[in-house]
Each structure stands twice: as C-alpha cells, then as structure tokens.
Amino acid sequence: MASIGWVLLLFIAELSALATSGAHGDGNFTLRCQPDQAASLLQLKKSFSFFHYPSALESWQDGTDCCLWEGVGCSNSSGHVTALELSGHGLYSQGINPAIFNLTSLQLLDLSMNYFGEYSLLQFRFERLPLLTHLNLSHLGFQGQIPTGIGGLTNLISLDLSANYDLGDVSTYDIITGDRNNVLYLQDPNFKILVANLNNLRELYLDGVDMSSSGEWCHALAKSLPRLQVLSLSYCKLVGPICPSLSNLHSLTVINLEGNFGIPTALAPFPEFFMDFLNLSVLRLAATNLQGWFPRRTFQSKTLRVLDLSWNQDLSGPLPNFSNTSSLETMMLDGASFSFGKPGSFTNFKYLQTLSLDVNISSVEPQSSLGIHRSLRHLGLTQTDSTSNLGLILSGIGDVQNLQSLELSDWRFSLTSFSSLVKLKSLRRLSITRCTFTRSTLSTFGNLVGLRSLEVSDCDFNGPIPSAIGNLTNLKSLNIDNCDFLGPIPSSIGKLMNLRSLEIFGVYNDIGPMPSAVGNLSNLESLKIFASNFSGQIPYAVGLLKKLTSLDIRMSGFSGSIPNSISNLTLLIVLDLSLNDLNGELPASVFTIPTLQRLDIRSSKISGSIQDINATSSHLVSVDLSRNNLMGNIPKSFFQLTSLAYLDICWNNLMGSVDLSSFWRLQNLVHLGLSNSNLSVTDIYGEGNNSLCTYLPRVTRLELASCNLTGFPCSLAPLNQMSYLDLSCNRISGAIPKWIWSTWNSSLRYLNLSHNMFSIMQVPSYVLPFYKLGVLDISSNQLQGQIPMPSPSAFFLDYSNNNFSSLPPNFTLYLGFQFKISKNNISGHIPNSICDSRTSVLDLSFNSFSGWIPPCLIQEGSMSVLSLRENQFEGVLPNIIKDRCVLQILDLNNNKIEGQLPKTLTKCLQLEFLDIGNNHMVGTFPSWLGVLSGLRVLVLRSNRFYGSMGGDLHSDEKSGEYFFSLQILDVASNNFFGNLSPEWFDGLKSMMNELNTTGDILGDNNSSDSGMEAEASYQDTVTIYYKSIYRTFDKVLSTLTVIDLSNNSFGGTIPGSLGRLTSLHVLNMSGNAFTGDIPQVFGRMTQLESLDLSQNQLSGDIPEALTNLTFLGILNLSNNQLVGRIPQSGQFATFQNSSFEGNLGLCGPPLPNPCGISPAPPSTAHADDSSHVDVVLFLSSGFGFGVGFAAAILMRWGRIGKWFLKSARALRT
C-alpha cells in the first residue's frame, strides 16, 4: 500500500468526509447500546486528540445511544459493538487505549490512516478480540515486533498492518544504525508463526513491515493461507526466493511484491506459474531483482488488469503482438530491458489506460503503434537511448485524443518536442523530470494552454522561467522542484487566476524578490516555498489571497517584517514562515486568524513580546516560536489553549518564572519546549511521585534545558510514554530516579540529563533494558562507580565529565555509534573486541587507560573520531591503514607513544584534525601529510621530531597544493633546525583567505538544531599557547588560525612570505635563533591578535607597520637585539615593559630609558644575572616558553632565584 507520513495523513483526513453514523449496524435497532460498551467508547474518545478535525466524533456523547454514533456498528440482538470504523479521522493518540479491548464482540476494527505514535504493538491484548474478522491498523505509526496475539485471531478474513514505508520519513539515525525498532517487523514470532493459524485469511497487507528474518515466507504462505486472494508484501525486505509452492494459492487475484530488492538474483526468474492463477487481476513485481527471459503469455492474459514489471533491469524479452482479448488497463515496463517488435505491437490494447516504458530502441520507433491507443489516459516515457527523438515520438501519439497525463523523464527538449505536445488537445497534466531545455524552447511553454497541472523537477532550464507561463490560464497546480532556472519569477505568474496550488522547492540560484503579482492569484489555496534562494520581504500582496488555507514559506531567504496583511487570510490553517531572516515583532493579528491551527516561525530573528490572545476562539494546535529573540513573559492565554498539542518557545530571551502546573489544563499537549529561554521553571509539588502532583497525561516530548530547575519534576513519574526528555544544564542534584529505567524502557528514545549535579544513579542493573533508546547523555555530573549501559545499544552515549571509575564487563557489546567517557577516573586496557563494534566516534580522553592502543582502531580506518588524549598509552602506531579510511579526527596528545607517524595516514582522505603532541615520537617533519586537502589542525608539539621544515620542497609543495586547509600548525618544543623556506608558507591558503566569521566548529558541518542529529556532531580539544598562556579550546572554531614554531632551533631570517598569511591570529616563533630584521610585511597581518618573537637574535628597528595591527592584544619582542625607538601609535600604547625588555638598543615608552641617551654598560653582577637567565631558559625550553619565561622572572627574586639557579646548574651537570 502507498506510504504516507503521519502529517500528510492528518491533512488528508481534514479534507476527507467522515464515515456515516452507525455504519455497521445490523438494520433497525431493537436494543440500545450496552452501558459498558458506551463507557469503553467514551474512554477511547478521551484518549484521542483531534488535530485537524475538532468536530470529529461529535456524536459520541454520554447519555446517547452509542449504536448511532459515527463509525460504530452494533448487533441488533445484543446491543454489543461489533464494528468500529475510524479510518482517516485525523486522530492522534498515544498507542491504542486499553478500553478498546473491552469491546469483545468486535468483528471489524479499522483505525487506519490516523497517528497513534511511535509505540510498540506488543503491549496491546488483541487476543481479547477473538471474533475479529477484519483488522486494519495500517499507517498508524506503530513500531517494533508484531505481537503473537494477532496470530491467534483465527476468524480473521482481512489483516492490514501496512507501515509507513517512505524514505522521507526515515531519520538519519535510522539510516545509520539500520535500527528496525523504528518500523514494524516480524522476528519473534516470525512470519511463519504469525500466519500458522490464520487459515481463513483472504486478504493480507503487510507493506513496509520488515520480514528480513522470515526466510521461509513463501512456503509459510502456501501452507497456512490456502484461501488467500490478496497478497501485498511490498517493501518487506524479503530475502528468500519466490518459490514454486506459491502455485498452491489458486485463488489469488492480487499479488504485490514490489520493492523487495533482497530477493536473490540467482533465484529470481520470472515466476511463470503466476499466469496459471485464473483470477489474477493485479501483478506488481517492480524492483524485485527479476531476471532472464520474460514469458510472452503474461501479456496475453484475459484477466490481468494491472502489470508492473518496472525497474527490473535484467528482465528482458520482446513485446509480442498482444491478444485482442487482453484486459490490461495498466502496464508499467520502465526500467526493464524489453524491446519492441514490429509496429502495431500495442494494437489490440482496447482497455489500456496507463502505460509507462523506456524508449531505448532506434531501429523501430514505437510512435506508430502508440498512436492508435484511443483509450490511453496516462503515458510515461523515459529516454535511455540518446538517439531517440522525442519530437517524432510525440507526433506519433498525437492521435491519442483522450491522453490526459504525460510523464517525460531524461529528455532534451527541442522546439519540435513542444510543438508536438501542443497537438495533445486533451492533455491536462504534464510531469517533466531530469530534462534539459534550451532558451529557445522555454518560451514555447506558453502554448500548452490546456494544462491543468504542470510539474517540473530536477531539470536544467538554461535560462529564466519564461514570461509566457502566464498564458497557462487553466493551470490549477504548478510545481517546480530542484531546478536551476536563472533570474526572478516573472510577474506574468499573476495571470494564473485559476491556480489552486503553487509549490517551489530547492531552487538555489538567486531568484530575487517574490513578485507582488502573486497577490492576483485569487483562487490560490496552497502556497509552499521551501529551500529556495529568494530575497527581500514577503510581499504585502500575499494578504490578498483570501482562499489560502496553507502558507508555507520555509528556509527561503526572506527578510524584513511579517506583513500585517496575513491577518486577512481568514481561511488559513497552516502558517509556516520558519528558517528565514525575518525580523521585527510578531504581529498580534496573526493570532486572530480564526481558522489557524499551526503556526511555525522558528529560527528567525523575531523580537518583541508575545501578545495575549483570545484563547476561547482559537483553534491553535501547534505553535513553534523557538530560536528567535522574543522577550517578556509567556502570555497567560497560552495556558488556556485547550486544543494545543505542540508548544515550543525554546531559545528565546523570555523572562519570569513558570510552574509546570500552569500547563495542566492543556490536556492535549504532546510536545512542550521551554529550553534555553531564560525562564525559571518550578514544580510546586517538589520532587518524587507525589499523589497531589498534576501532570500532562499525553506529553511525550519535554524540553526543559537551562530552566533553573533544582529538582526532578514529580509530574514526570506518571507518564508512561515519554520518548524525549531534556533536563540538561539545570541544578538538579541527588539521585536520578530509578523509575525512569522501568517506566520508560519501551518508549524512551532521547534522555539528556547532562550538566547537572546528579551524584547517584538508581539502576536495577548496569545493563539498562531499553528497546528504542537512541541518545543517553548524562555527562558533566558527579556520578560515580560503574558506568551503566543500555541494551540494545544506543546511537549516542555520553558519560564524560563525571567520576566513574569502571566499565561493565563486555562493555564493547553495548557500544553505539558514539561512545564518550572523557574526563573520568577509568583505568585498564582497551580490549581488542572494541573493533567489533559499530562505533564511529570513540572518546576515551582524560582517563588513566594504559597499555597498547589496539592496532585495529587505526588500521581499520572505520572510525571517524578517535580521541585518546591525556592517558598513559604506550607502544607504537601501526604502519598499515586500510584504503577506505574515514578518519576525521585523531587525537593522541599526552601519552607515551613512540616510533614514527605512519605514512599510510595519507589514505585517510577526510582527516581534519591530527594531534600527537606531548608524546615520544620521532622522525622528520611529515610533509607528506600536505596532500590531505582537508587537514585543518596539525599538532606535533613536545615530541622528538628533528630536521628541517620545508627545506627541500617536493613537486606538489612547489605547486602550492599542500596543507591547503591548514589553520593550526603547532610544532613547538621539538628539535627542528635550519632556515625556513619562503616558498613553504605559500601553500597555507586558508591562512591567506578571509575566513567565515560565524564561528563554525571543526568537524561540525552537518549538525542540526536538535535531536539525535545534533548529538551526532563532535568537537575535539586542542591546547595552544595563546595570549601569553596555554589555553585549551574544547571547540576549535573555523575562524581560529595559529602557527607555533617556538622552542626549536630554527635560524636565518624570518621569511617575508609569512606576511601573506593575512588571516593569521596567533604567531609564536619564540625560543629559536632567528636573525635579521622583523619583516615589514608583518604589518599586513591585520587579523593578528598575538605575536611572540622573543628569545631570538633579531636586530634592527621595530617596523612602524606593526601599528596597523589593530587587533594585536599580545606582543612579546623581549630578549632580542632590537634597536631604535618603540612605536607609540595604535596598540603599542597598551603594551608593558615586558614586551620589550632584554633589547638593550630599544628606547622610549614603556621602557624607562629615553631615546637619545646611550645605555650604560651592564655591571658584572647584571651580566651574571643575564647569563643565569639564559641557562634557565635553555634548560626549560623543553617545557615550552610559558615555563621558561616564568623561570626567568624568578631569577631576580633573591633567595628563591638563587635556589632555582642552583637546581638548574645541578641539572645541567
């Protein structure tokens, strides 16, 4: 069955008609509904939220006959409810209310096309409904294992558990983990056990249910369901073959196995025995890996109405002369390898209405045979042969007078093509996908004046949208998706007076402002613009679209204020202006729109306060104002919006306090977000499970991060379906309640308790039985003891910044995609079994692990992040790394690793961050790393590297294509020597260009606002000598650029090419033997904030050009041989003596010696002091200049200085 996301289902429900009252009564009622039956139905109604149909189930009133209620059918003889049909009513519920299982006389139960949450069916007792003959639970959002109880319903005639199989509904988390807990599946019991007793079944729909564990599905069908007439198992991940025993099901009329890509190709010839089913009318086998020669007699069937063999590229054969008795109405052959016979192949298709094929032949064109199909209504043509001429083909079908819908894919349009289209007088719908237009052909669009619907997707326009589009005055629907047209939307679009729906998605070229002529579309009901590159304001004329019910303009670059004219849209149901650059205040008039149900203006720049609204007349169901600049208090009227199900005001600048009990009247509330909005949230009933505690019975998602909470809210304890809870960044202390692990073990997907003061975890065991947990973050607390881990493993686990002391045995069995335990007190060795996990991000930093690093962690190259810094690892790194290395961050700083850096790291083409500082590694400078175009951080500090750096340039280095993206280079405190090559710095392009100023995080290019995707980002730590102290950056900003060459033995002059690094923020060349002048070109490094050239042998004047460095906050030129007057302008007026001391030839402020007076020769005692300082600095150079400079100051402090000098001399000898 077709897959539909739940939001779409609710929208469809809004537009569909409700079922008639008493739909399944047995005739004239002689007995009123039984009281217990009515009570159960009323309890069921109470569990529903009516998002898009506030008037749904209005007839369900206490004191009236429930047998007359909408969707209810009763038995005449007993008054018991026998049928309940609530399909497509726009109902929202947290699972199936248990009251429904009190209706034990039910024979028909249909709850399909609603949304009952992402819950498991296992908790529901279907065995209490033994009389059921028809059960339809399709498209309700259920997840997990299908329960055994359904297999015990032996009277079932029809069973439909179809899931929402739609890639658009599958989250990033589901795709990465392959977690089938997020869909319905059959494992235990498997398919064989489920159907074993369903011998009466006539119809079976399990579309989208994961049956990958049911390899014998085919034999089970043949054995257990002899009366089966309808079989629909599309997209079920079937893994076994289509077996011959299926031929026993002689009654089959419908077979749908579409989208089962896992059917083995070696065992997948076309099952010809299907054609022995005398009543077969529908056969759908698209994308099932069928191969081999296709039997002709299939096309000559007298009963087959629908045949879909598309996207089986290895299925081949000629299309025969079809029987004149063929009953085919739909034939889909695109993506297969059929060939046409002689012209007239389709002559005898008297009933064919829908045809889809590839045009991949040049010797015999199909147009002559297609042209006689007067019954054809829908035609799809995909070009797979570049020699095919679309114009000729279309001219050949010009006689198809009834053709209403045409889909064209992968064609290049010409003037002939369009002139042929114009001849199709009955054409009402045209869909064009992956096609190319020339500028001359675009204008001919305006000749298709009969069109009612035009869809253009993934096309190359090579020009603007033609103004001739205004000629299509009969258009009712216009959809432009992911096309690269140039320039603005023409104002002629305002001539499309009959347009009902306008959609523009994914247009990334500059479009310019939306034309005000859009206000002329007086019949427009839906305007949707998403991810497109508009500019300017939302036009005031939008307020003229009086019939508009949905205004959805998301992430499309609009700026300015929200026009007040929107309040004129009195039929508006959905208003979504999110993810734009809107500013100004939120118009109070928006809340006066009487029909408005969903308001979404998140992630903009809206300011001001939220105005009070008339809650009694409001129908608001969903309000999202998160990530704006809103101020003031939450209006009291918000607490009276009784229909409200979704409220999110996170990330604003609100004020005041709010108690959770204020929300208790919002009995339909499912999502409540108050995080990071400067609110103080209180809980007047205190901590624990208090019997007086009010709570919101339907809440499944609660966001209370940074809300100044001091206790765990008692209102959470009664909630048994919590899926998302964020209490991070509060002041909650004490124990994490033990009821969390049992109450929410089947529903919880996200739990964030980080950055609190929890000290105890009350856990039943150190293996937590969670079925669906994706994120567990308890970092930055005061937790101790052994780390508890969920089973099955979660996607994201963060236990960092606690006092944990051990890991559970076999902890590698429970590792998720990310595992972070940094900054704890954990010791021991890492087992090799860690490489058997699916972990992509492993952070064990700042612990006490020891021993060798398991070679497989680096050899396999399967991890994207490996951070082991600040431990006691030893040994050497493996020399071999596999070709498919995906490593992005490797941080081994401050361990005891020896040996050389493996050159096979060049296979890690995605490497961005490499920090091996503070180890015992040896070797020359790894210039071969320069080929890694994405490398942004390279730290080699405090090792035993030696030799020159860039002395002999390789060919790639000479071309300037090395270290192209490098932003942080730290080679301080090694044994490098020699002169620096001027050409070497020419490759550092990222330090020459203007960097973005948004403060992006390295390795965080794909992070999103919230949820699991946000947790998937990772930021590493780097420590650099910055502004005179060692600073640790937990988030390495993409704007930070650093070069630290200090405490080596580099000599010669400082290369002037350094001055071209105009984006450099920190330059430290101290503690070397550089000579000559300070380069004048340093004055061009206008972003420089810290410059340290101390402890060298530099001479000459201080360049006046350095006064141009207006951001320079730290300057250290001490202990050189500089002379002349110290510049006095710019930042130089802020520097102290320490920046210049030790340069006997310098004069002027801030030094005490004025210019024009020769300095006195140093005394003998002073000379001794100087030599003492030099000794200490030499001795301490291995610790970095920060320590050395401190030692130099101590030398002047009398007795302490003498003690330090004595100790230093002892070390020297």
Q: Is the pLDDT of residue 685 over 50?
A: yes
Q: Where a domain ends, among 155, 185, 215?
A: 185
Taking residues 925-935, report their average pLDDT.
93
For residue 94, is it within any domain? Answer: yes
For residue 298, is it within any domain? Answer: no
For residue 41, is it within any domain? Answer: yes
Q: Is the pLDDT of residue 320 over 80?
A: no
- Which range, of 98-107, 309-318, 389-398, averages the lowest pLDDT? 389-398
- Which range, of 368-372, 385-389, 485-489, 630-634, averages the lowest pLDDT? 368-372
What's the pLDDT score for residue 679? 95
The band of 123, judged by pLDDT with boundaries at 50, 70 and 90, is confident
What's the pLDDT score for residue 71? 96
What's the pLDDT score for residue 56? 87
Taking residues 885-897, report their average pLDDT.
95
More confident call, 684 vs 171: 684
950-961 pLDDT per residue, tens? 655 554 544 456
More confident call, 398 vs 669: 669
What's the pLDDT score for residue 947? 95
Taking residues 649-653, report their average pLDDT.
97
What's the pLDDT score for residue 1101? 96
Percent of the chain at pLDDT above 90? 54
More confident call, 1161 vs 434: 434
Burial (CB count within 10 angstroms: exposed 0-12, middle 13-18, buried 19+), residue 642: middle
What SS3 string covers 517-534?
Answer: HHHHCCCCCEEEEECCCE
More confident call, 1151 vs 55: 1151
What's the pLDDT score for residue 165? 40
- Which range, of 123-127, 937-941, 1105-1109, averages the lowest pLDDT? 123-127
Taking residues 109-137, report their average pLDDT.
89
- For strands 81-85 and 72-74, give the pairing: antiparallel
What's the pLDDT score for residue 298? 74
How far separated are the first and last CA of the chain, in Å rounded? 86
Q: Where a domain ends, among 127, 161, 185?
A: 185
- Please give the residue range of the domain that contains residue 57: 1-185
For residue 559, is it within any domain? Answer: no
The band of 314, judged by pLDDT with boundaries at 50, 70 and 90, is confident
- Which range, of 97-101, 959-963, 1161-1165, averages the lowest pLDDT? 1161-1165
| Rounded distance between C-alpha atoms, residue 537 and residue 604, angstroms | 13
Q: Tell me how crowded residue 15 is: count the other CB atoms within 10 A of its CB.
A: 10
* Eight-class DSSP state of 847: S
Closest C-alpha to 476, from 455, 446, 496, 449: 496
More confident call, 28 vs 792: 792
What's the pLDDT score for residue 1159? 54
What's the pLDDT score for residue 489? 93
What's the pLDDT score for residue 596? 92
- Which range, of 333-342, 852-861, 903-912, averages the lowest pLDDT? 333-342
What's the pLDDT score for residue 642? 84
What's the pLDDT score for residue 422? 80
* Eight-class DSSP state of 1033: E
Buried b (16+ CB within 10 A) or exposed e, 1089-1120: bbbbbbbbebeeebbebbbbbeebebbbbbbb
| Rounded distance between C-alpha atoms, residue 51 and residue 66, angstroms | 23
Q: Is the pLDDT of residue 274 over 80?
A: yes
Q: How crowded is the C-beta side of 1052, counted as CA atoms within 13 Å?
A: 13
Structure token pair of residue 955: 């060919």
- List the CATH number of the domain containing 100: 3.80.10.10
Contacts of 698 (CB under 8 A, 6+ apart): 49, 94, 645, 667, 668, 669, 670
* Eight-class DSSP state of 259: T
Taking residues 427-445, report their average pLDDT.
84
The 3-state DSSP class for residue 942 equals coil
The band of 76, judged by pLDDT with boundaries at 50, 70 and 90, is confident
Q: Is the pLDDT of residue 1018 over 70?
A: no
- Which range, of 167-181, 220-234, 420-434, averages the lowest pLDDT? 167-181
| Rounded distance between C-alpha atoms, residue 844 and residue 834, angstroms | 12
Q: How crowded is the C-beta side of 323, counted as CA atoms within 13 Å?
A: 13
The band of 400, judged by pLDDT with boundaries at 50, 70 and 90, is low
Is 430 within 8 Å of 455 (Cβ atoms)? yes
For residue 663, is it within any domain? Answer: no
Percent of the chain at pLDDT above 70? 81
Name the pTM for this structure.
0.80
| Rounded distance between C-alpha atoms, residue 24 and residue 892, angstroms | 71
Contacts of 52 (CB under 8 A, 6+ apart): 10, 11, 13, 14, 90, 573, 597, 621
Q: Where are the alpha helices (DSSP H) in 274-423?
A: 367-370, 390-396, 415-422
Helix (H) or strand (E) holding 1011: helix 1011-1015
More confident call, 320 vs 1070: 1070
Taking residues 1134-1156, report their average pLDDT.
93
What's the pLDDT score for residue 995? 53
| Rounded distance between C-alpha atoms, residue 68 and residue 73, angstroms | 8
Q: Is the pLDDT of residue 1178 over 60?
A: no
Taking residues 208-224, report their average pLDDT.
90
What's the pLDDT score for residue 121? 83
Taking residues 763-785, report their average pLDDT.
90
- Which range, of 312-321, 353-362, 422-431, 1196-1205, averages the lowest pLDDT? 1196-1205
For residue 1173, is it within any domain? Answer: yes
What's the pLDDT score for residue 1137? 94
- Which range, of 11-25, 297-311, 512-526, averages the lowest pLDDT? 11-25
| Rounded distance between C-alpha atoms, residue 811 and residue 767, angstroms | 9
For residue 529, is it within any domain? Answer: no
What's the pLDDT score for residue 1189? 29
Burial (CB count within 10 angstroms: exposed 0-12, middle 13-18, buried 19+), residue 982: middle
What's the pLDDT score for residue 1035? 54
Q: Is the pLDDT of residue 141 over 60?
A: yes
Q: How crowded is the C-beta side of 541, counted as CA atoms within 13 Å?
A: 13
Q: What is the CA radius of gyration of the chain?
A: 37
What's the pLDDT score for residue 1185? 30
Q: Is the pLDDT of residue 1207 over 70?
A: no
Contacts of 1180 (CB under 8 A, 6+ apart): 1187, 1188, 1191
534-564 pLDDT per residue, tens? 999 999 999 999 999 999 999 999 999 999 9
Q: Is the pLDDT of residue 993 over 90?
A: no
What are the C-alpha distances in Å from 494 to residues 362, 430, 471, 620? 43, 21, 10, 31
User: Taking all residues of the chain, what is their mean pLDDT, rounded to a whole number?
Assistant: 83
Helix (H) or strand (E) holding 1212: helix 1198-1212
Q: Where are the alpha helices (DSSP H) in 744-809?
A: none
| Rounded distance between C-alpha atoms, residue 125 and residue 675, angstroms | 38
Task: Give the number of residues written for the chain.
Answer: 1213
For residue 1177, is it within any domain? Answer: yes
Count of domains for the chain: 2
What's the pLDDT score for residue 492? 95
Q: Is the pLDDT of residue 1014 over 60?
A: no
What's the pLDDT score for residue 362? 36
| Rounded distance between C-alpha atoms, residue 1212 and residue 403, angstroms | 97
Taking residues 1177-1197, report their average pLDDT.
30
What's the pLDDT score for residue 701? 92
Closest C-alpha to 11, from 644, 571, 615, 597: 597
Q: Where a domain ends, among 153, 185, 217?
A: 185
What's the pLDDT score for residue 667? 81
What's the pLDDT score for residue 297? 74
The band of 1201, judged by pLDDT with boundaries at 50, 70 and 90, is very low
Closest C-alpha to 423, from 473, 462, 367, 382: 367
Closest C-alpha to 96, from 129, 61, 125: 125
Q: Is the pLDDT of residue 648 over 50?
A: yes
What's the pLDDT score for residue 144? 82
Structure token pair of residue 660: 């959770």
